[in-house]
Structure 1
Amino acid sequence: MTNIEIRGVWLTTTDSKVLRSQQRIAEAMDFLAETGFNVVFPVVWGRGATLYPSQVMRQTFDIEIEPLSAGRDPLAEIVAQAHRFNLKVIPWFEYGFASSYKMNGGALLAKKPEWAARDCHGNLLEKNGFEWLNSLNPEVQNFMLNLILEVVQNYDVDGIQGDDRLPALPCEGGYDRTTVEHYRQQFGKNPPQNSKDPQWLKWRADILTEFLARVYQSVKAVNPNLLISMTPNLPDWGYQEYLQDSRTWLERGLVDMFHPQIYRRDFLSYKNELNKILNEQLFGRRLPKLAPGILMKIGSYCMSPEHLLQVIKYNRACGIPGEIFFFYEGLRENNNALAKLLRKGPYAQSATFPSLADLNQPSTTQIAADSLLQRGLRIFRNIF
């Protein structure tokens, strides 16, 4: 019997040339299909530009496509090549509501300075090097929704993916004049200077949740079978730091696939973060949706073969039907070592990508989260 699993990988333009030519894309899809993957998440929005010819971007910013892809349509090439192998394609809006990285807002805010997010001092909102659009601004939200709808209306894709920047806003933001006035009208006072004031956190997070609800409803209106895939920060940290209320997203049924970024560089740290999630009944009852984001490579780091096998074994022991790896180039390191390991081991048997009905089923085992953890702990003892 064929397994039903999510076996995914992110395709980036950072530290990777896979999207830079149709030939490289074709070779990558051959390689991923042979390795046992069944879904790819290619970046289509980053650094203030799209990786497809965008009329929304042309009309709004006079930037039709990111410069290195001029004259091509990388998204169309990915769809054509991936579907040869029945690989699902879920475009990834990587930059989300970020405007630029260490470029003072870049071309987007140069053209639309009124779209800038502001901190409590009135400065352009910056966090970890990224400068931000104001994701609480209805015009900015409409722009992002129009980008998403442009993709699902014009390409034969299988869904869309948001991440740690979509929907999101650093908790230090929300102090622009429009948002401050909106808050004052509702509460009769200015927002607190403490950016982590509980009421202020929740009020802004709720606005982003309502935006995700609009995305969900609008995409499903185009095609109800399209998947809404989200890969946010870990629940508590994501809420406190980036206003990502992923618990509410799941409770309201706004997410079809949920991939929290458990980006840890050793197995014990990964296990501990996953256990925190599974200890909550909210997540334990939605295991078919859950396929954690796993850090395979970043910079000079590449996960060890032992770590890879431990993570997948623990996932399955906990009833988790899949994972997504960041990112493709990790599979090609050391003469394709990790890809060979997957092909001979956990991914040796082919796996069917879950249907929407599969994803929206309650956990088939109906086992409480604590029981799932006990199963995982038994496997963990065997690993060591």
Structure 2
Amino acid sequence: MPPKKENSGCGCSSIPISFLIIVLGVGYWSLTHLNDLGIKKFLPDAISKLLPNRQTPPAQQPTASIATAPIVIPTPSQRVAVIQSPSQQSLPTGISQPKSPVPLPKSPVKSLSQSRWEKKAIRGIYLSRYQVTNNASEQMIRDRVRYYRKQGMNTIIHGVWGNGCTMYNSQVMQQTFGYKSCPNQFQDQWLDWLIDEAHQQGMQVHAYFEKGIKIDKNSPIFDLAISKRWIVPGVDKTYAGIDHYVLDVEIPEVANLFKKISVEFVRKYPTIDAVQWDDYLGYHAALPGKIDRTARLTSFVRQLRSGIKQANPAVSFDLCHHNPYWGKRYFAADWQNWQIDRVFIQVYNDANFRQELEYAKNYAGVAISEKQLHRLKELVSNPKIKGVLVFPYAGKPEEAASLVKKTLQ
């Protein structure tokens, strides 16, 4: 009998098919997860490249639509609002709740200088005779008043007289000279509109008797004044660049003209808050003759004030002049005896600023130019300075008012 042969097969035929399927599945899974198991790095590169590369698909972004959150308008006691989900429910996966409230834009906070500025009794801007009146409609005038209010002003000092004539229709001018006003294109109601709008805005209007008792060669009454000898001998050269001639108020006809004009004005505009005269109410010491006119000028001003108060007791009679020493010494203006209601000290000479402030502390305030706005914060911080008037030397009051606001910010 031939010898029995060894079985050379693997015996796979006797292995159940289900077991083979399980082995193959586990093997395939192992190959595809070699990287996860940390085994792949131990295999040769040639083999690793042949193995399937399993990549993790990116997470799918949520497609849920989130309603835009409403913005809560703050009450006076609230400064911020929170952007909220429609019902404060949990948000879909991937959307996080805001970590902190989202602040709304705040109203501009006033600086300390602005707050102190608003406490000043008078915050005024000068407007010369032609800076509102000429060809101005009612809307233009009202808009300008509101503009100055937004810049922090509470008083407009507007020229109503200057260089020998009025900036309104005057019966006194008509009877005396044959024309009713300065040569200007203005609507008769311009000052009514100005006063009305200012009062609506909580502001005051002061009538500025610009140039006072002085005229120049461009005055419509110059020739008549020369012919009638209404002029004090000599030329007033107080200010460089222009020659002024001083009307002599010692002449009864001249004194009566000013009294009539003043009384007519405060009656025609009974709601005007004040009338203001300036340093042109005076005789410069350099005039020839070396005549002391101090006492007679004092008598004239007192009579002028008395007439105004009788016609309209509510009107304040104001003055913006040099300090009392300089006024009396160089301009025959002893205004401390003029019975003035309010006095503002001119501080246009910046070199004497400190000395002038010592005078100003005792009166209604100071007048400065836009070139001196670097002094404004100092004036505002000084509680003894009760008011500040700004004179636009450049003739641009809107720009000057804007600079005031910027300086205080």
TM-score range, shorter chain: 0.5 to 0.7
Trace 1:231-270 onto structure 2 (pairs within 5 A): 231-249=320-338, 254-265=339-350, 269-270=352-353
> 1:324 deviation in Å?
1.0
Going from structure 1 to structure 2, the CA distance change for 1:76 and 1:115 (only over 3 Å counts) comes to farther
Residue 294 of structure 1 pairs with residue 368 of structure 2: yes
Number of the residue aligned with 2:199: 83
Partners of 1:245 and 1:335 in 2: CA distance: 32
1:212 to 295, 301, 312: 301
- Name structure 2 gaps, 5 residues minimum: 1-114
Going from structure 1 to structure 2, the CA distance change for 1:323 and 1:12 (only over 3 Å counts) comes to same
Number of the residue aligned with 2:221: 108
Deviation by residue 1:66-89 (Cα, 9 ceiling, x = unmatched): 222354343223212212212111
Work out which of the two has the higher radius of gyration on C-alpha atoms and give 1 or 2: 2
Number of the residue aligned with 1:51: 167
> 1:143 deviation in Å?
0.4
Counting helix residues as a fraction of each chain, which structure ranks higher? Answer: 1
Partners of 1:309 and 1:244 in 2: CA distance: 31
Trace 1:155-234 onto structure 2 (pairs within 5 A): 155=269, 156-166=271-281, 168-173=282-287, 193=289, 195=290, 200-201=291-292, 204-234=293-323
Given that 1:97 and 1:169 are in contact with CA atoms closer than 8 Å, whether structure 2 keeps it comes out as: no
1:323 to 373, 378, 388: 388
Number of the residue aligned with 2:7: none
Number of the residue aligned with 1:356: none
- Name structure 1 gaps, 5 residues minimum: 176-192, 279-283, 297-301, 345-384
> 1:228 deviation in Å?
0.6
Report the secondary structure of 1:165's partner residue.
coil
**Stretch of structure 1 that moved more, 126-135 or 48-57:** 126-135
- What letter is aligned with 1:292? V
> 1:213 deviation in Å?
1.1
Number of the residue aligned with 2:72: none
- What letter is aligned with 2:323? L
- What letter is aligned with 1:241? Y
> 1:246 deviation in Å?
2.0
Going from structure 1 to structure 2, the CA distance change for 1:117 and 1:66 (only over 3 Å counts) comes to closer
Deviation by residue 1:136-171 (Cα, 9 ceiling, x = unmatched): 2221111011111111001121121111112x2233
Number of the residue aligned with 2:184: 68
RMSD: 2.8
- What letter is aligned with 1:219? I
- What letter is aligned with 1:244? A
Number of the residue aligned with 2:78: none
- What letter is aligned with 1:111? L
Given that 1:171 and 1:241 are in contact with CA atoms closer than 8 Å, whether structure 2 keeps it comes out as: yes
The alignment-based identity, stated in percent, is 25
Task: Compare relative contact order (CA 8 Å, sep 6+) and give the higher one, 1 or 2.
Answer: 1
Moved segments of 4+, more than 6 Å: none
- What letter is aligned with 2:246? W
Going from structure 1 to structure 2, the CA distance change for 1:331 and 1:126 (only over 3 Å counts) comes to closer
Given that 1:6 and 1:324 are in contact with CA atoms closer than 8 Å, whether structure 2 keeps it comes out as: yes
1:130 to 244, 263, 267: 244
